[in-house]
Amino acid sequence: MANPFTLGVASGEPMPDGVVLWTRLAVNPLSSDPARPGGMPDRAVEVRWQLAEDERFTQGLRQGTVQAQQSSAHSVHVRVAGLKPGTDYFYRFRASGELSPVGRTRTADDPASARPVRFAVANCQRFEHGFYTAYRHLAAERPDVVFHVGDYIYESRQAATVVRPLGPVPGEITKLHEYRLRYARYKTDADLQAAHAAAPWVTTWDDHEVADNYRGRGDGSAAFLRRRAVAYQAYYEHQPLRVRPQGGNLQMYRRRTYGLVADFMVLDVRQHRDATTMLGAAQEEWLLSRLRTSPVRWRVLVQPLFFARRFVPGPAPNLRPDSWDGHQAERARILAANGPGLVVFSGDVHNFWAGDLKADFLDPASAAVGAEFVGSSISSRPPQTDGPAVLAANPHLKFFDGRRGYMSCVASPEELRVAFRAVDFVDRRGAPVRTVAEFLTKGNGLTSENGSSK
Ligand SMILES: [Fe+2]
């Protein structure tokens, strides 16, 4: 068999005592044969994993063997437990005589730790729109953990103008082998592989992992539910998740806590949604309860959609129904939970934004009860949004930038800092990265360190 490690390695779901290790075997990642995903043989393949405290695999070596099953497209999810908190580890796999690249991962901090947490947030990486240079720079920062807030793939048919082609199956995808192939195409990218190999990831999805702007059970048809189920299966097969899909559902909302410093509440704004609710009753109750009772300094919402009110001047609709502006009562209940140290990280809109969260967005005198930071996109093109006009129409929004990039953050007991890291171009390789703005918050609104556009 040829080298099966063409899709890289990854780790994720860090806890104080463990992580999940991931890879997927694919000797021919772009094979479009539905019966042979990744060009792999029609049988299970044995995979050996190793994890140690050093890159030469001599200190504290742990190892084991798992079977990569064809029913999971030969993906591998290894839950390693019994590790030390706040500690770097290195891991690799071996299969059919080939050795994978080495990945670096890190456990979450001890529950009593007050150590600062370094994390990055990324989103929206439409493959044919550009190169993932931003991920190359993110990887070099080696954060404690990377959050991805959705649009990891796009299900859409290939854009009219491409920087690089999707390859086989460029149409809109609806079937299991097509979702697998789309993930494989994305994951062949060396910069994306580098970002996964540099740190553990915690991911949530937005709409394009399934279908544009879908809500919950969609139109309720058997065809849509089948499509959603295969999309969720493919999502699981390509992310380092702890849990697998069951009966067409996948438990996505969850908490990842770093000591006494950061309580990351990762939301699912798609699976439980309908016209009346963004989160669904169970997820909302879980969130409100934790917001009220968390003993941790920063309550961090990690989710895709623009959270603050965003009035867009011009023709209706001036408030976007797919974002939190379409669920204002639910948003108000979250803000009214009044958890101190509330910070929201979002994506979706393909531009950088920063702003204050207000108890009443329509009252300029209303107190700031938190801050929101909206990541741009790794590669996806922005819409024709008039940044300055929207900024002017929303006093609580403080910053806009139209370049591609990611967010690089540090949470400490004293403050939370967010740097917007941008590249000037993605239509060719090699763009340098720069900090276009840096903000800090001590628990209410945000303060600009530099680069304020207002
Ligand atoms: Fe997107």
pLDDT one-digit tens code per residue, 186-237: 999 999 999 999 999 999 999 999 999 999 999 999 999 999 999 999 999 9
User: Ligand 1 centroid vs 208 CA: distance in angstroms?
Assistant: 7
Confidence check: pLDDT of 449 > 80: no
**pTM metric for this prediction:** 0.98
Shortest CA distance to 305 belongs to which of 329, 331, 284, 283?
331
For residues 353-380, average pLDDT: 95
User: Ligand 1 centroid vs 349 CA: distance in angstroms?
Assistant: 6
Rg, Å, the chain Cα set: 21
Give pLDDT, residue 233. Answer: 98
Phi/psi at 420 (5° precision): -85, 115
User: Ligand 1 centroid vs 338 CA: distance in angstroms?
Assistant: 30
Sheet of strand 342-346: strand arrangement:
254-258, 262-266, 298-302, 342-346, 368-374, 352-358, 397-401
User: Ligand 1 centroid vs 268 CA: distance in angstroms?
Assistant: 15
For residues 441-451, average pLDDT: 83
User: Ligand 1 centroid vs 187 CA: distance in angstroms?
Assistant: 17
Give pLDDT, residue 394. Answer: 96
User: Ligand 1 centroid vs 124 CA: distance in angstroms?
Assistant: 4
Q: What is the DSSP track for 200-212?
A: -EEE---STTTST
User: Ligand 1 centroid vs 405 CA: distance in angstroms?
Assistant: 13
User: Ligand 1 centroid vs 153 CA: distance in angstroms?
Assistant: 9
User: Ligand 1 centroid vs 350 CA: distance in angstroms?
Assistant: 6
User: Ligand 1 centroid vs 137 CA: distance in angstroms?
Assistant: 20
Residue range 224-264, pLDDT digits in tens: 999 999 999 999 999 999 999 999 999 999 999 999 999 99
For residues 309-317, average pLDDT: 94
List helix spans (H) across 250-327: 281-293
User: Ligand 1 centroid vs 58 CA: distance in angstroms?
Assistant: 42
One-letter amino acid of 40 = M
User: Ligand 1 centroid vs 151 CA: distance in angstroms?
Assistant: 5
Where does the pLDDT of residue 338 fall: very low under 50, low under 70, confident under 90, or very high at 90 and above?
confident
Q: What is the DSSP track for 140-167?
A: HH--SEEEE-S-SS--SPPPSS-SS---
Give yes or no for a contact between 35 and 41, defined as CB atoms under 8 angstroms apart: no
Confidence check: pLDDT of 430 > 90: yes
Query: CA 25 to CA 169: how far, in whole Å?
Result: 20
User: Ligand 1 centroid vs 189 CA: distance in angstroms?
Assistant: 18
Query: CA 125 to CA 266: how far, in whole Å?
Result: 19
**pLDDT over 70 for what percent of the chain?**
99
Lowest mean pLDDT among 12-26, 39-53, 329-343: 329-343
Give yes or no for a contact between 78 and 21, defined as CB atoms under 8 angstroms apart: yes
Query: What mean pLDDT is reported for the chain?
Result: 96
User: Ligand 1 centroid vs 130 CA: distance in angstroms?
Assistant: 13
Confidence check: pLDDT of 385 > 80: no
Rounded to whole angstroms, what are the CA distances from 439 to 7, 96, 297, 388, 398?
35, 49, 18, 19, 10
User: Ligand 1 centroid vs 380 CA: distance in angstroms?
Assistant: 6
Give pLDDT, residue 452. Answer: 56
Residue range 255-288, pLDDT digits in tens: 999 999 999 999 999 999 999 999 999 999 999 9
Confidence check: pLDDT of 290 > 80: yes
User: Ligand 1 centroid vs 345 CA: distance in angstroms?
Assistant: 14
Q: Give, as one character, the DSSP assignment of residue 72.
A: G
User: Ligand 1 centroid vs 125 CA: distance in angstroms?
Assistant: 7
Residue range 72-117, pLDDT digits in tens: 999 999 999 999 999 999 999 999 999 999 999 999 999 999 999 9
Give pLDDT, residue 4. Answer: 98
User: Ligand 1 centroid vs 48 CA: distance in angstroms?
Assistant: 36
SS (H, E, C) 311-337: CCCCCCCCCCCCCHHHCHHHHHHHHHC
Query: CA 442 to CA 411: how far, in whole Å?
Result: 10
One-letter amino acid of 144 = D
Query: CA 298 to CA 14: how far, in whole Å?
Result: 18
Write 324-331 long-range contacts (CB < 8 A, 24+): 324/278, 326/278, 327/277, 327/278, 330/277, 330/278, 330/279, 330/284, 331/307
Give yes or no for a contact between 266 and 252, defined as CB atoms under 8 angstroms apart: yes
Where does the pLDDT of residue 447 fall: very low under 50, low under 70, confident under 90, or very high at 90 and above?
confident
Where does the pLDDT of residue 451 fall: very low under 50, low under 70, confident under 90, or very high at 90 and above?
low
